[in-house]
Amino acid sequence: MFYWLIELTNTFPSLAMFRGLLNVFRYITFRTGGAVVTGALFVFLFGPWIIDHLRLRQGKGQPIRADGPQSHIISKKGTPTMGGLMILSGLVVSTVLWANPLNPYVWIVLAVTLGFGFVGFYDDYLKVTKQSHSGFAGRARILIEAGIALVACYALVRLGRDPSSTGLAIPFFKDLVIKFGWMYVIFGAFVIVGAGNAVNLTDGLDGLAIVPVMIASASFGLIAYLAGNAVFSDYLQIHYVAGTGELAVLCGAVLGAGLGFLWFNAPPASIFMGDTGSLALGGMLGSIAVAVKHEIVLAVIGGLFVLEAVSVIVQVASFKLTGKRIFKMAPIHHHFEQLGWTEPQIVIRFWIISVMLALVGLSTLKLR
C-alpha cells in the first residue's frame, strides 16, 4: 500500500513536492525495515486479544501427547494453540502495507503460506474439538500440501522463463547446475512440502521453532535481496532472478511478526504456534528457497529442521525394521529431554545451532 504513494506523486502534479520525501518507499531495504516494525507492533497490540479469544473458544486448549514427556502433561495443559493466526495476521498486514502489490513472487509465496496455514488450522481445529492428538488424516494432508506446492512451483517456473528456472544450483560452484526440466516442478514441490512438515515437527517446545524460523527468514531475506539485484548477483556469482528482491519485504514481515509472537511464546508459553503457524512458515521458507534457486542452502540454513525430521524418519524406520528405537523419543528435542536436559537448555542450544547453520549457509554466497 505504501508503495503506491510513489505512484500518486506521478499521477497528481500537485503532490510532486513530496516526491523526494516519498522516494524512500522505492527502496526494498526501507520497506523491509518497515515490514519488521509493522509485523512486530501488530502482534504486540493484538496478541493479547487473540490469546484471550482462543483460550475462551478452546477451553481445555491443545491436547498434550500421552506418549510424550510426562512433564508436558502437567506444565503445558490448558495452553491454547493456533498461535500461528497471530503470526499470519501480522505477516499479511505487514506484507500488504509494505510490499510491491504488482510483484507476482510476493503473491505466490503468500498463497503457499496461507494455503499451508489453512491446512494446519484445520488440523489444529480437529485436535481441539475432539481433544485428541490425532488431527487431519496424514495422507490427505500431504496430498493437499503437495497440490498447493505443485501449483506454486509451476507458477514460479513460468515466471522464470529461463533455463536455470528448471535447474538445481549447487552451492560453492559458479556454474554447476543440475538440469531437471519440467521434473523440477515435482522436485520444488517436494522441497516446499518437506520444509513445511520439518518445521512442524520442530514445534514441540516453547520458543523452539519460532526463533530458527526467524533466523532462516532473515537469512533468506538477504539472499532474496541479493538474488533479485543484477549487480550483486553478478558480483557474487549467484543466479539472478528478477523480481525476487521483493521477497525480502515478506521475510521482514515474518521476522517482525515472529518477534511479537515470541513475546507470548517464550517459556512458559501463553500460546502455542500449532500446525497453523509451523506448516505455514515452513511452506513459506520452502517456496522462497525455490523462487531464489537456493534449495540446497535451505537444507543448510534450516539444518535444525532437517535434523528434527530425519530423527523421526530414522526412529520410525528403525522400529519397523528391527523393533528397536535409536532415540529415547522422537523428534530429537524430546530425546534430549529424556536425557535430562531442561527445556530452556534445549531451546537455547538449538537456537545457537540455528545461528551457526545460518552463517554456514550464507557463506555459500561468496565461497565459489
User: Residue 60: its pLDDT value, please?
Assistant: 67
Of the pLDDT bands very low, low, confident and very high (cuts 50, 70, 90), residue 73 is very low
Average pLDDT across the chain, whole number: 87
* CA dist list (Å): 218 to 110, 168, 185, 256, 360: 17, 22, 26, 10, 14
Q: What is the pLDDT of residue 283?
A: 97
Contacts of residue 61, defined as CB under 8 A and 6 or more positions apart, other chains included, come to 55, 77, 78, 79, 80, 81, 128
> Is residue 79 very low, low, confident or very high in pLDDT (cuts 50, 70, 90)?
confident
Contact 365, 171 (CB under 8 A): no
Q: What string of DSSP letters covers 51-78?
A: HHHHHHHHTT-SPPPTTS-HHHHHHSTT
User: Does any domain span residue 8?
Assistant: no
Instruction: Indicate whether 8 pLDDT > 80.
Output: no
279 falls within a domain: yes
At residue 49, the pLDDT reads 92
The mean pLDDT of 310-316, rounded to a whole number, is 93
Q: Which residues contact 80 (CB under 8 A, 6 or more apart)?
A: 51, 54, 55, 58, 61, 62, 271, 272
- 362, amino acid identity: L
Mean pLDDT of 104-133: 90
* Average pLDDT of span 131-156: 86
- Dihedral in degrees, nearest 10, Cα atoms 262, 47, 45, 214: 30
Considering only CA atoms, which of 197, 164, 179, 367 is closest in space to residue 282? 197
- Look at residue 5 and tell me whether its pLDDT is greater than 60: no
- Positions of E strands within the chain: 167-169, 177-179
Could you give the angle at which helices 247-265 and 28-58 cross, rounded to 10 degrees? 40
How many domains in the chain? 1
CA distance 174 to 233: 11
- Distance (Å, whole) CA 29 – CA 70: 46
Is residue 14 assigned to a domain? no
162-180 pLDDT tens trace: 777 788 888 877 777 888 8
Q: Which amino acid is it at 48?
A: P
pLDDT in tens, 216-229: 999 999 999 999 99
Assess whether pLDDT exceeds 60 at residue 279.
yes
Q: Report how far residue 72's alpha carbon sits from residue 233's, in angstroms, rounded to the nearest whole number.
A: 47
Does the residue 7 lie in any domain? no
> Is 132 domain-assigned?
yes
% the chain with pLDDT above 90: 57
- pLDDT given at position 82: 87
**pLDDT digit string, tens, across residues 43-62:** 999 999 999 888 888 766 66
Which grid coordinates belong to 141? 494432508
Has residue 17 been placed in a domain?
no
Mean pLDDT of 145-167: 87
Name the most confidently modeled range: 133-137, 282-286, 326-330: 282-286
Residue 74 banded pLDDT, cuts 50, 70, 90: very low
Could you give the percent of the chain with pLDDT greater than 70? 85
Residue 90 within a domain: yes
Burial of 145 (0-12, 13-18, 19+ CB in 10 A): buried
pLDDT score recorded for residue 199 = 96
pLDDT of residue 85: 94
Residues 283-301: pLDDT tens digits?
999 999 999 999 999 999 9
Residues 13-48: pLDDT tens digits?
Answer: 555 555 555 667 788 999 999 999 999 999 999 999
Burial 80-97 (b: 16+ CB within 10 A, else e): bbbbbbbbbbbbbbbbbb
Q: What is the pTM of this model?
A: 0.91
Domain of 288, in residue numbers: 30-366
pLDDT in tens, 184-203: 999 999 999 999 999 999 98
pLDDT at 171: 84
- Give the pLDDT confidence of 215-261 residue by residue, as tens digits: 999 999 999 999 999 999 988 888 889 999 999 999 999 999 999 99
HSE, side-chain direction, 13 A CA sphere, residue 174:
5
Residue 365, all three cell numbers: 554466497
What pLDDT band is residue 357 in, cutting at 50, 70 and 90? very high
| Residue 71 maps to a domain | yes
- Residues 324-338, mean pLDDT to the nearest whole number: 89
Where residue 119 falls (left for φ over 0; alpha for ψ -120 to 50; beta otherwise) is alpha
Residue 75 pLDDT > 90? no
Beta strands in 160-303 (DSSP E): 167-169, 177-179
